[in-house]
Structure 1
């Protein structure tokens, strides 16, 4: 079992990796469409840890958008601030050349 302290250290490390990433998906004015969900799922499969940019709105709306995308792709929201959301979905067979976790030694 992972301790709370270890989990917090992992989240902090993931946030550090996320800081160096550029958004790979930008959710437009049409919101969360099936195409957006497919693209996020593909990016998560390839990169495992991705940053996405969600539409402007109030804090509650942005949080709901981030959670809806995470639920649709079976990913975990690691961090969100403003319009940026960091998502994680571990790939059991990651490509070391594409995986942000492998590239940054996580």
Structure 2
């Protein structure tokens, strides 16, 4: 199963897990860089579920940055609230988060 095909039940489960987490990756006014993408990639390898905060311009700019991050890291956006997105990518060999069946 690819992370792009999360069911609503799985998204709800991941939202519950991510609720108490703090953002690990921060994107400032300078926008998205290769270093930020690399850092997110490492965080997803370690945690599978990561909050990202983007403090940039308007909503369209934030949405574009989040879309670019998900494409570059192969992750799925579980949810976005304001300037914070919750991203998920299953670990290839040893998943820590076991998703509920559809």
TM range (shorter): 0.7 to 0.9
Q: Look up the SS of the partner of 1:13 in the other structure.
A: helix
State the TM-score, normalized to the length of structure 2.
0.83
Larger relative helix fraction: 1
Q: Residue 7 of structure 2 aligns to a residue in which SS? A: helix
Gaps of 5+ in 1: none
CA distance in 2, matches of 1:50, 1:94: 17
Query: Which structure: larger Rg?
Result: 1
**Unaligned stretches of 5+ residues in structure 2:** none
Which residue in 2 is equivalent to 1:83? 83
Matches within 5 A, 1:42-81: 42-81=42-81
Q: Give 4+ residue runs of structure 1 displaced > 4 Å after superposition.
A: none
TM-score, normalised relative to structure 1: 0.80
Point out which structure has higher relative CO (alpha carbons under 8 A, 6+ apart). Answer: 2
How many aligned positions are there?
96
The CA deviation at 1:7 is 1.4
CA RMSD after TM alignment? 2.1
3-state SS of paired residue (1:23) = coil
User: Match of 1:34?
Assistant: 34
The answer (yes or no) to whether the contact 2:31–2:56 under 8 Å persists in 1 is no
